[in-house]
Structure 1
Amino acid sequence: MRAVLRPTSNPSKYGVAGVLAALLPLFALTGCGSSSDETGGDDPTPPPTTQAAPKDKGPLCVGEAAADAVHVLRGGGFRLPGGGGVQYAEATADGTTRTATLRDGAKYEDGQKEQTVEPGQEITVSGHDYTVSQICSYRVVLDPQDDAAKSALAAAPASLDSKGGEADDGLCFTTAPSVLAAASKGFPAKGEALSLVNNSGVSTFPTGLSLTVSVDAATRTAGIGGNCAAIPVAMYQDVRVGDTVEFAHVLFKVAELTGDAVRLTRTSD
């Protein structure tokens, strides 16, 4: 059964538009291929929240992540074959089940259509069919159901060097094993820590990903934003110690929040 699309002009807090103001400075980032411990630039980080949202009721994930599938990260967008895209706009959990609100387009624009989906549901986005194989608090996994979309997503770019902007589409929106392997190597090894300094600028990675963070000491939460190929690819709001986040198919757990930094521990290979 396919979800009914409906236009929206009032996106929720967890939608891309809800944090658009926080990520506007990131649209101009080029995502140059520097190492993961570099920071720089004059762009402000996402503003801290004044009141933390209620803790997610879980479960963390429902469904099984299909291999070679698209990972759409919470609060972010993903460019898809066919010229369009999809955003993970909002998450809902009741302690037993999960649903996700998906919005058309790789980044927010007024009047975009949205649909609420469940694990196992079939949807059509950008002219191609996908199955929602898994919904997590931090991602939605879409399994392409036609060969054209699968081939386009799996095609490796001519170069693994980041050039910045839309030229990095092949590095940022892909299922190509060579690209995902290069992105993985840009992070600390499994079990090691990645520290993101509060309001210090932008941390950039070899395949074009840029991360920025802002800590709210009053609520002991943080916002972590990701940008790639001039698209906000993730915006994790009200992140707490113990929460899971993902970047470039790599999983991390929030290990520590201080007034100065967020420390993430890599939990996947």
Structure 2
Amino acid sequence: MRRASGSGAVAVAAVLGDGARYEAGRTQQTVRAGQRITVSGHGCTVRQICAYRVVLEPAAEPDKAAAAAAPSSPRPVGGEADGGFCFTTNPTVLATASKGFPPRGDTLSVLDNGGVRRFPAGLSITVSYVDTRTRTARLRGDCAAVAVADYDNARVGDTVEFAGVLFTVSGLTERAIRLKRTST
């Protein structure tokens, strides 16, 4: 999962959760770039940590191949069956997800208070709050019933990422958050 603090600063370490958020057995670990770790029984290396993401590279060839494989069906069906859409480096899947967003330079608006935007490849983006007093918001991306991005205290100017696509938080109102697409 990716988590941002809204500070805009580059992170030196990050806390990764492993397992369902509210179930017994969930673990957390603090990681640093270059560190070899195990997540859900799979070895990987932490390649990058910044304010908006943690990049993990699988260590074993079968895990690398699985991450790059295309799902068996091009249509998401919901739930855990969509894991192949959500946790992949497959260029076709990433291109499909990218096409579901507005083009570079355009703005995507997501309504506050549980407003959900659904996209191809099984991703949904939700805004759980917008605080106009502190000018912060919380955005979350879910795919296959799993949080894949969580941006708490996001502010105008912060970078967020969903399905490999970068956005800048370009506006906050009482009713919505606006995201300007910055990557192709």
TM-score by length of 1: 0.63
Q: Which has the higher contact order (CA 8 A, sep 6+)?
A: 1
Partner of 1:216: 131
Partner of 2:146: 231
* Structure 2 unmatched ranges of 5 or more: none
SS at match of 1:187: coil
SS at match of 1:143: strand
1:158 to 67, 72, 82: 72
Measure, in 2, the Cα distance between the counterparts of 1:55 and 1:105. 24
Partner of 1:261: 176
Give the number of the structure whose residues are more often strand, by fraction: 2
Say if 2:6 and 2:152, in contact at 8 Å, map to a contact too: no
Cα deviation 1:202-256 (Å, max 9, x = unaligned): 1111111111112112211111122111112222111100011110011100011
TM-score by length of 2: 0.89
AA of the residue aligned to 1:219: T
AA of the residue aligned to 1:259: E
Deviation at 1:110, TM superposition (A): 3.8
Cα deviation 1:147-190 (Å, max 9, x = unaligned): 01001111111222121111211111111111111000000111
Say if 2:166 and 2:183, in contact at 8 Å, map to a contact too: yes
CA RMSD of aligned residues (A): 2.0
SS at match of 2:33: coil
Measure, in 1, the Cα distance between the counterparts of 2:8 and 2:75. 40
AA of the residue aligned to 2:96: A
Measure, in 2, the Cα distance between the counterparts of 1:124 and 1:152. 16
Alpha-carbon spacing, 1:198–1:128, altered in 2? closer, same or farther (3 Å): closer
* Larger-gyration structure (1/2): 1
Measure, in 2, the Cα distance between the counterparts of 1:128 and 1:226. 23
- Aligned sequence identity (%): 58
Deviation at 1:200, TM superposition (A): 6.1
User: In the TM superposition, what are the counterparts of 1:50-199 in structure 2 within 5 Å?
Assistant: 56=7, 58-59=9-10, 93=11, 98-199=12-113
AA of the residue aligned to 1:268: S
* Structure 1 unmatched ranges of 5 or more: 1-14, 17-53, 60-92
Deviation at 1:108, TM superposition (A): 4.2
Partner of 2:155: 240
Deviation at 1:111, TM superposition (A): 4.4
Query: Which region of structure 1 is more displaced relative to structure 2, 203-212 or 191-200?
Result: 191-200
SS at match of 1:162: coil
